[in-house]
Amino acid sequence: MGGRAKGLLVAPDGLPIVERTLEIVRAASLTPFLVGDASAYMHLGVEGLDDAPPGIGPLGGLVALLRRAGDSCAIAIACDMPFVSSTLVEALRDAPPAPVVAPRSDGRWEALFARYDASTVLPMAEANAAAGEHSLQRLLARAAAVELAVDDRIALRDWDSPEDAR
C-alpha cells in the first residue's frame, strides 16, 4: 500500500478503516485492541499488543490476542476490511458457543474475521507456532471451527493492494 498502514486508508463511508472498525467494535460493547505493529495507530489511544512471537505472520498476532483474552472469547477483525458491518460483528459475537466461529469463502476460513474461544484455541495456536506451523487455515480446521453464515460477501472483502482500494 505504498508504505501506508492499511487501517489508515479511507473506507467508502469517509472514515479511515481502523476508526470505522473501532466504532463498530465499541458499539457492540466489545473492547478493542490493536495487534502487531500498531505504531501508526497510537493516536487512537487503543491498547496495542505485540505479536507473540513476532515474525511469524498473523498467527503471532492471534496468539497475542488470545493470551490477552484469557478465559474469554476474542474476536479478530483484520485492519483492511472496509465493509464490515455492525450487524455482521454482532452476529459473530452472538453466535452459539464453539472453539472458533468464522465465515468461509471459496472453501477458506475468514480467520481474521472470527471469534475464538481463547482457552480452547490458545494451546493449539501456541503449539502450532512452536512447531513452525503458521497456517491459520490449518489451525481453524484443527480447532473444529463452525461456519458463520454470511449473506453479504462484500462485507468481508479486504484491501490487499492499491487496486483493491480503488
Report the CATH number at residue 154: 3.90.550.10
Neighbouring residues of 20: CB distance < 8 A, sequence distance ≥ 6: 11, 13, 82
Q: Is residue 104 part of a domain?
A: yes
Q: Is residue 135 part of a domain?
A: yes
Instruction: Please compute the mean of the pLDDT values over residues 15-19 and round it to a whole number.
Output: 92
Count how many domains the chain has.
1
pLDDT band at 7 (very low <50, low <70, confident <90, very high): confident
| Residue-level pLDDT at 33 | 96
Q: Is residue 39 part of a domain?
A: yes
* Top-confidence residue, 161 or 115: 115
Instruction: Please compute the mean of the pLDDT values over residues 43-62 and round it to a whole number.
Output: 96
Q: From CA 64, how far away is CA 54, in angstroms rounded?
A: 10
- Residue-range definition of the domain harbouring residue 118: 6-158
- Other C-beta atoms closer than 10 Å to the C-beta of 91 total 16
The SS3 of residue 101 is strand
Q: Is residue 1 part of a domain?
A: no
| Residue-level pLDDT at 1 | 38
pTM of structure:
0.93
Q: Is residue 112 part of a domain?
A: yes
| Residue-level pLDDT at 85 | 94
Q: From CA 59, how far away is CA 154, in angstroms rounded?
A: 24
Q: Is residue 87 part of a domain?
A: yes
Instruction: Please compute the mean of the pLDDT values over residues 143-147 and round it to a whole number.
Output: 98
The whole-chain average pLDDT of the chain stands at 92
For residues 148 and 95, the answer to whether their CB atoms sit within 8 Å is yes
Q: Is residue 119 part of a domain?
A: yes
Q: Is residue 163 part of a domain?
A: no
* Top-confidence residue, 4 or 118: 118
